[in-house]
Structure 1
Amino acid sequence: MPEHFELPVTYNGKELLFPAELIPMGYTHKIKVTVNETELLFEPDEEKNYRATLPHSDRDAINKLDNQLLRTICQTLDEVFGNQA
């Protein structure tokens, strides 16, 4: 069952909160994070580090996203969920 929570991310000296949802998927999971009204999926890779998987359908919104912010979200997910992946 999905679990909803807010993901706190420190970025450019500011504490940001993003709506998020943990989605269990068999032996793994994905985390849906909403950034600027764009839903992104993050999943652990083979080395158990998080990576963003971006839908191709919303290219304009994706191009407007800050790549460093996405990296910071991945790092935060690694810190919060890294031991559980």
Structure 2
Amino acid sequence: MEDSFMIEIAYQDKQLEFEARLRITGYTHKIEVIVEDIPVLFEPDEERTYRALISPEHTETSHKIKPGILEAIAQKLELLTR
């Protein structure tokens, strides 16, 4: 099951919006967020905080993504899934 939605975050006094998709697999879920044209998977860990994963084929271009943006997205996802 895949559901698309937009996620909005505040980052450095700007409002940014990203396309996201919910991916449910078995008993867990991942949220794919498109950041700088790179799909980033966010998955919950044991403490229900989200970690970002970038596939190996995108590691060369992943330097375009600012770590603060990934942290802001993860925090927003934590708020939305409580």
1:18-74 per-residue CA deviation (whole Å, 9 max, x = no partner) reads 000011111110000000100110000011100001111112221221011111111
Provide the rounded CA distance (Å) in 1 between the counterparts of 2:63 and 2:12. Answer: 20
SS at match of 1:60: coil
Which amino acid in the other structure matches residue 52 of structure 2? A
Tell me which residue corresponds to 2:31. Answer: 31
Q: What does residue range 54-73 of structure 1 map to in structure 2 within 5 Å?
A: 54-73=54-73
Aligned residues: CA RMSD: 0.9
Number of equivalenced pairs: 82
Which amino acid in the other structure matches residue 32 of structure 2? K
Q: What are the ranges of 5 or more consecutive residues in structure 1 without an aligned counterpart?
A: none
Instruction: Provide runs of 4+ in structure 1 moved above 4 Å.
Output: none
Q: Residue 14 of structure 1: CA displacement?
A: 1.1
Tell me which residue corresponds to 1:42. Answer: 42
By percentage of residues, which structure has more strand?
2
Q: What are the ranges of 5 or more consecutive residues in structure 2 without an aligned counterpart?
A: none
**TM-score under structure 1 normalisation?**
0.91
Provide the rounded CA distance (Å) in 2 between the counterparts of 1:59 and 1:50. Answer: 19
Which amino acid in the other structure matches residue 72 of structure 2? T
Tell me which residue corresponds to 1:7. Answer: 7
Provide the rounded CA distance (Å) in 2 between the counterparts of 1:72 and 1:61. Answer: 20
**TM-score under structure 2 normalisation?**
0.94
